Chain A
């Protein structure tokens, strides 16, 4: 280091020292002011909470607690629910991204392994003719089938959702009426939630750059309609309703059947209740 550099070094040190002191002083001053300002800011949104019903003027979420039932003994695997959901919710039209889907479980004689496929299996895509339509191929027609059944799947709208816990931006949350939603405006597309969900219920929408999943058709249920998949199910394998109402279809479904939830050991406490499934289903 040369000697003539010293004055500039000293000058820089002096400048930084002054800057530090100035920052501390301003910080303290603004900090003191902020203590007075902050309560005002948070108070601004308080009164709105009691003004009328939320989220819409005709629908009060504090009066509902939604629940979903799946009766696998009734499902015929026609996949009308999958098509209806895609149409209703603007899900990309392909055979790989779904908000709801149907799985087929087949036990063959003399084969200890269970054969599982869904509509996105290549054989089933071929049977449907394109990735825009969905159909289960009759691939076990000539096999010795011991037991077979279809299981509709969707987001479980858990009471303690792992996906909400991991979201770094508050873009996914559980509403007061028990629906787990995604705020597409706040989602940064990090896909932590896709990884966190133990049920594989979330997918990443590349077109929009956000995570997406079933909302139980929140825009329909808040208008008094059924979710699209429930609306179109021709055999009543899907049941939806308000758990607060003891006569609603879902309350009756839970009361009149021995129901179970998927992967209870994960502690997510799902709100989709299943009837007629085997231990292989999870």
Chain B
């Protein structure tokens, strides 16, 4: 072998040997443990902290909301989709309540080619005239039809049972007193729902709770059918304390559910036209204080001042109940 080739080969061999020796010292321990990679990196990746915490994490403190949400049609829409990741909450402060519900809700519910037919979709322009979705829908349980109870009662039987109610609500369903509501012509589904709520204890009233507890389910249906069938005989109450004109402006926010003049557009919700102003004031204040529980009314009454409430009551009390708008 020529000398220079021998030198070259031995130099290469020498470097090779050095490399082979150096390799185990330069390679981290865990590298070949399972294969051609660093086993410790698996442990490092597995040790990262989750950012999204799941609904179970929220349930601990927000149990009432959680119960409502998990019973509704939005139960597949987890808390963190709308409120953001819960990591660091509550230590680092509150999670946001989405401001622009239209933008958020239409992410899923805007009618769009490609969305499966089973997905509830709306034509945004024709659906709400720019109002926020949360005005009518409770985002935690958005299905409105859930409040609608079918009423199939016997009005004649209801009339007999109604004799017991007459002392407060009037013989013909027109209350003689400012603080008790008129029942004549009220929506049957609403009447049945509220009576059932008194009976179950979901809604409480010193006078109504024991009375409703004495009623059977069929009697509730009969009573609802009877009062709903009575003519409301528009009897505007004594002039109320509030400013009806100011109330009219406020009432625009209520129109989607209660109708423009309180005539009611959906039988699930009460008619308000010609209702007793004292009763309306009390009811709104009860919603605001959380004494009467309704997710939608709690939301809309939160921002009302006592003057607003008086104005609204004055407006609705002055409307004719014959109107169905």
Q: Which residues of A contact B (CB under 8 A)?
A: 16-17, 20-21, 23-24, 26-28, 30-31, 34, 37-38, 41-42, 44-45, 48-49, 54-56, 59, 61, 73-80, 84, 87-88, 104-106, 135-136, 138, 140-141, 143, 145, 148-150, 170-173, 175-176, 181, 183-186, 215, 217-220, 222-223, 225, 228, 231-232, 234-236
Q: Is the CB of A54 within 8 A of B7?
A: no
Q: Is the CB of A140 within 8 A of B113?
A: yes
Inter-chain contacts of B29 with A (CB < 8 A): 44-45
Q: Is the CB of B78 within 8 A of A232?
A: yes
Kindly supply a per-residue 1/0 record for chain B positions 39-79, scoring 1 wherever the CB is within 8 Å of any chain A CB and 0 otherwise: 10111111111111010000000000000000000001110
State in angstroms the CA–CA spacing of A74 and B114 once bound together: 10
Give residues 28-46 of B contacting A (CB, 8 Å): 29-39, 41-46
Pick the 3 closest A-B CB pairs, nearest first: A148-B114, A173-B37, A183-B41
Q: Which residues of B contact A (CB under 8 A)?
A: 3, 6-7, 10-11, 13-14, 17-18, 20-21, 24-25, 29-39, 41-52, 54, 76-78, 80-81, 84-85, 107-108, 110-116, 119
- Can you name 14 extra interface pairs (CB under 8 A) apart from A80-B81, A181-B45, A228-B52? A23-B10, A24-B13, A30-B21, A45-B32, A74-B116, A77-B114, A135-B107, A143-B113, A170-B31, A215-B45, A219-B46, A231-B78, A232-B52, A236-B76
Q: How far is the CB of A129 from chain B (nearest CB, A)?
A: 8
Inter-chain contacts of B77 with A (CB < 8 A): 234
Contact of B119 among A28, A76, A225, A231 (CB under 8 A): A76
| A to B CB contacts below 8 Å, 18 in the list | A17-B3, A23-B14, A31-B20, A31-B21, A38-B24, A54-B43, A55-B46, A76-B108, A76-B116, A77-B114, A84-B85, A138-B111, A148-B114, A150-B114, A170-B36, A215-B45, A217-B50, A231-B80
Q: How far is the CB of B27 from chain A (nearest CB, A)?
A: 9
Contact of A234 among B46, B52, B108 (CB under 8 A): B108
Inter-chain contacts of A236 with B (CB < 8 A): 76
Q: How far is the CB of A96 from chain B (nearest CB, A)?
A: 20
State in angstroms the CA–CA spacing of A197 and B47 once bound together: 27
Contact of B52 among A55, A140, A231 (CB under 8 A): A231
Q: Is the CB of A24 within 8 A of B78?
A: no
